[in-house]
Amino acid sequence: MSYNEEYLKDDNLNINWYPGHMKKTRELVQNNLKLVDIVIELLDARIPFSSKNPEIDKIVGDKPRVVLLNKSDMCERKDLDEWIRYYEKQGIKAIPINAMNGQGINKVISECGVQTKEMMEKFNEKGRKARGIRLMIVGVPNVGKSSLINKLSGRRSTQTGDRPGVTKGKQWVKIRGNMELLDTPGILWPKFEDQEVALNLAFTRAIKDEILDVETLGLRLIEKLQKIAPEKLCERYKLDSVAETPLETMEAIGRKRGFIMGNKELDYTRIATTVLNEFRDGKIGKIVLEKPFDFSEGKVIE
């Protein structure tokens, strides 16, 4: 057995990430919450639970909120509907969007008006000067906040990039419908209590690859896909079937793609990087990594 094979059998991929600017972002959200009328919480539709920062519920409290399921084009509609129903039961409107092409954006603007209508009417009754609705957008890194703001504003008003940490500080942005939006950088929590959550964030690039063991991360993604979407994994990599173990499946993918080094050993780094990138780009198929879960009853919500 080679060094790589033995190394990849180690399942201990402990992920913890909380740079100093994340703490500052939490404080930024708290300090500016009083300036806004409604909060837009942007989630990754492929991992709505894992990309939902539990700190946000504590910080936002009873402030009106709309949940957006971004990258919905990378998900099957039936999976999106399950999550929409899940949030409906909590009294929260969830809207599937694609921040890159603008799909669903008009619904976002309309819903913000609905959520704040009573509040704005009270302002008028008190004789206060009319003003636009003020929004705050929050979400984990690389969930698509800058792309969303660009679509809302109709111009390239913020930096964008397919990596965490592009948005650096507070920005007020004029958007359609006489609204103003306060953008904040991505926010993660200090410690991942659930490593499954951390892995899902890493799979979708909410955590920088540079701080992770990419080979093991790729193996863990293959393990996940082997359980929830084996047919899509086989179709993408032209496998007759998934192997008994994720490592064997990983090796089969490597042989199919010809990822073999000069010493005739498999290039595990290249295999892992390829699978991770192709999942992130939607090339393996439309895949949601998690389903709504009722923690009080300990079961998946159908």
* Residue numbering of the annotated binding site for GTP: 70-73, 142-147, 186
Helices (H) and strands (E) in the chain — how many of each? Answer: 11, 8
Q: Residue 40 to residues 33, 43, 121, 184, 248: CA-CA distances in angstroms?
A: 12, 10, 21, 11, 43
Residues contributing to the annotated binding site: 70-73, 142-147, 186
What distance in Å separates the CA atoms of residue 128 and residue 120, rounded to the nearest whole number? 10
Distance in Å from the first CA to the final CA of the chain: 43
Cα within 13 Å of Cα(52), Cβ side: 18
Count of beta carbons in the 10 Å neighbourhood of residue 6: 9
Identify the CA nearest to 29 among candidates 149, 188, 173.
Answer: 188
CA–CA dist 298, 300 (Å, integer): 7
Per the CB < 8 A criterion, the answer to whether 241 and 234 are in contact is yes
Q: What is the DSSP string of 233-246?
A: HHHHHT-SS--SSH
Residue with tokens 């913000």: 112
